[in-house]
Amino acid sequence: MTHWNEADFASIFGAIHPDLLRYLECSIGHSGAAQDIAQETFVRLYRLGPGRVRPGEERFWLYRVASNLARNEARRARTIERIASLFRGANSPRSVNPQVEAEIASERHRLLAALGTLPESQRAAFLLREQEELRYSEIAGVLGVSLAKVKVDIHRARIALRAMLQPPDSRPAERQGATRHGL
């Protein structure tokens, strides 16, 4: 494995890093996360070594890798909110109200606790679907199980999570006055 000449790598870094960082900050809006992704992108290029990316195409390669890392980071950041919204029925507006923020934090805590109670097979299948957005067939391949098992595990996980996360006052009331015979 060949290693980078420090001057060559510093030249690529100096020429591309400021623009790449600006692109990432506009893409994801978090300067801290953007800096982390830019750093990880250049680390990957450095580990790859010289000559593995065609000379003159380093910019394209770095932007492609950074874009993929930014997408992955954005997906991870949205995961808990997206999963939580599945069970509360509608997205609640974000607020700077401390009480609302405390309720959201409590809901996240409840969600993580509920996920922890699921059997491993259900939790894994559910998270691969909702967090990683894999297709059922891909999940079956990753977990080494049948497609039918994946479908059953995800279905059961959703039912269990809905039951655990549904507020007590919103559970469907039993029909009053109905008899066994539908009268």
Q: So where are the chain's domains? A: 6-77, 92-168
How far is residue 146's CA from residue 106's CA, in Å, rounded to a whole number? 36
Mean pLDDT score across all residues of the chain: 80
pLDDT for 150 equals 95
Question: Band of the pLDDT at 158, cuts 50, 70, 90?
Answer: very high
Cα separation of 167 and 169, whole Å? 6
User: What is the CA angle 23-28-34, rounded to 5?
Assistant: 65
Residue 93 has pLDDT above 60, yes or no: no
Which token pair is 65? 């890798």
Highest mean pLDDT among 105-114, 142-151, 163-172: 142-151
pLDDT band for 22, please (50, 70, 90 cuts): confident
d(CA 140, CA 148): 9
**CB–CB of 3/49 below 8 Å?**
yes
Of 21-35, 37-51, 83-97, 154-168, the least confident: 83-97
Digit-coded pLDDT (tens) for 36-82:
999 999 999 999 988 888 888 898 899 889 888 888 877 776 676 66
> Is pLDDT above 70 for 112?
yes
- Is the whole-model pTM more than 0.85? no
Report residue 91's pLDDT band, with 50, 70 and 90 as the boundaries. Answer: very low
pLDDT of 96 higher than 70:
no
pLDDT at 174: 44
Residue at token pair 């801290």: 32
Cα separation, 174 vs 79, in Å, equals 34
What are the tokens at 30?
Answer: 């978090």
Q: What is the pLDDT of residue 24?
A: 85
| Predicted local confidence at residue 109, as pLDDT | 80
Is the pLDDT assigned to residue 147 strictly greater than 90?
A: yes
Q: Give the CATH fold of the 92-168 domain.
A: Arc Repressor Mutant, subunit A (1.10.10)
Q: Is 122 exposed, middle or buried (0-12, 13-18, 19+ CB in 10 A)?
A: buried
Give yes or no for a contact between 121 and 47, defined as CB atoms under 8 angstroms apart: no
Q: What is the pLDDT, as a whole number, of residue 7?
A: 93
What is the rounded CA–CA span in Å between residue 129 and residue 78?
14
Tell me which of 15-19, 20-24, 109-113, 128-132 is least confident.
Answer: 128-132
